[in-house]
């Protein structure tokens, strides 16, 4: 990427919302990944970099969190800014104030807003009414911050992205959507295996397939996890019952019984495959302990990169 193109992208991202990778071009995603790697290098070298000095990020949490809250709080602090944690119970949202009113009020106080919530419509409504950049920390449709950190991690480990194969085994949830769209834009082959009734959102799949047609990558949705894992450079999984679906746990355990990522399934991937999980994990359910704690697992590297990827997002758009 030339210096001129980097400058163009940097100018383009200022003030832009980060609601999903679907809204970002291949070059913009690559720019954010490169920036995340650069900020990580600066931090490891002990170099102070504070482009957001004097700025404040408001963080709305309607879903509980470990990685999202800590990485955003630490990230904005390292960039010179201040975090402001706002739980649903702390805001008038909990008493029925329209999210558009909340957005307009918070925009008068803050320089950016991160929201972690349930329905994606709330993220869109917040961004539409806000006059400061809005970051999607997670919604039921999309988890773009995690996907960005994941592709940064894969690039660091494999030295490239284009031409690799990522296999996703499990629920057609927000994590699958973001990984799928990101892969299709970055030229990564992607195969997802989910049981019947737990497929990815058809609209997200259609978007990914159109992206893949342009990038030259291959996107496939299959039923057999072995078919998805065949020749994979990366095997990725997530919990069978995401937050908000806990009451379906027993039902999902039956549906996903043949979708565990274990040593037998891993034999279908390349010998140097990477195992990834966005965490928290249920060891013994979606993944065996031998895989998640094995030599191919990079789950804590990808967890760490949430900090660096999100710093890149904040530095770019705020």
Binding residues for L-ornithine: 174, 238, 242-243
Active site residue 111: no
Binding-site annotation, residues for carbamoyl phosphate: 65-68, 92, 116, 143-146, 278-279, 306
CB atoms within 10 A of CB 307: 22
Active site residue 278: yes
Active site residue 213: no
Active site residue 283: no
Active site residue 143: yes
Binding-site annotation, residues: 65-68, 92, 116, 143-146, 174, 238, 242-243, 278-279, 306
**What angle do helix axes 299-317 and 67-78 make, rounded to 10 degrees?**
50
SS3 of residue 8 by DSSP = helix
Of 17, 78, 116, 177, which residue is the catalytic one? Answer: 116
Of 146, 152, 302, 310, which residue is the catalytic one? Answer: 146
Exposed, middle or buried by CB within 10 Å (0-12, 13-18, 19+), for 215? middle
Is the separation of the CB atoms in 61 and 55 below 8 Å?
no
Is the separation of the CB atoms in 270 and 249 below 8 Å?
no
What is the side-by-side strand order in the sheet with 134-138?
82-87, 56-61, 112-116, 134-138
SS3 of residue 169 by DSSP = strand
Element (H, E) at 99: helix 99-109
Of 201, 260, 278, 302, which residue is the catalytic one? Answer: 278
Of 238, 260, 277, 310, which residue is the catalytic one? Answer: 238
User: Rounded to a whole number, what is the largest CA-CA distance in the chain?
Assistant: 55
Of 120, 122, 177, 306, which residue is the catalytic one? Answer: 306
Of 111, 120, 122, 143, which residue is the catalytic one? Answer: 143
Q: Which residues contact 59 (CB under 8 A, 6 or more apart)?
A: 69, 72, 73, 83, 84, 85, 86, 113, 114, 115, 116, 137
Residues catalogued as catalytic: 116, 143, 146, 238, 278, 306
């Amino acid at each position: 990427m030339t210096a001129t193109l980097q400058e163009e992208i940097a100018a383009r991202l200022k003030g832009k919302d980060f609601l999903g990778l679907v809204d970002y071009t291949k070059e913009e995603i690559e720019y954010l990944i490169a920036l995340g790697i650069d900020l990580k290098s600066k931090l490891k070298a002990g170099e102070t970099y504070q482009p957001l000095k004097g700025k404040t990020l408001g963080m709305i949490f309607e879903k509980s969190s470990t990685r999202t809250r800590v990485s955003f709080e630490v990230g904005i602090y390292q960039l010179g800014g201040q975090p402001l944690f706002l739980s649903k119970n702390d805001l008038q949202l909990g008493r029925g104030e329209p999210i558009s009113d909340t957005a307009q009020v918070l925009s008068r106080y803050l320089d950016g807003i991160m929201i972690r919530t349930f329905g994606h419509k709330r993220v869109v409504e917040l961004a539409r009414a806000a006059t400061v950049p809005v970051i999607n920390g997670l919604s039921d449709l999309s988890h773009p911050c995690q996907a960005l950190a994941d592709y940064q991690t894969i690039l660091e480990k494999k030295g490239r992205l284009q031409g690799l194969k990522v296999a996703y085994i499990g629920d057609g949830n927000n994590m699958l959507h973001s990984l799928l769209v990101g892969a299709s834009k970055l030229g990564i082959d992607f195969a997802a295996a989910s049981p019947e009734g737990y497929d990815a959102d058809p609209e997200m799949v259609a978007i990914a397939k159109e992206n893949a047609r342009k990038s030259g990558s291959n996107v496939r949705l299959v039923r057999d996890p072995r078919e998805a894992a065949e020749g994979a450079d990366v095997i990725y999984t997530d919990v069978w019952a995401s937050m908000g679906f806990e009451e379906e746990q027993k039902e999902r355990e039956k549906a996903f019984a043949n979708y565990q990522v274990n040593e037998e399934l891993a034999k279908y991937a390349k010998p140097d495959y990477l195992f990834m999980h966005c965490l928290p994990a249920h060891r013994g359910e979606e993944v065996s302990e031998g895989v998640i704690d094995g030599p191919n697992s990079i789950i804590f590297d990808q967890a760490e990169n949430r900090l660096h990827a999100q710093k890149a997002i904040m530095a770019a758009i705020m």
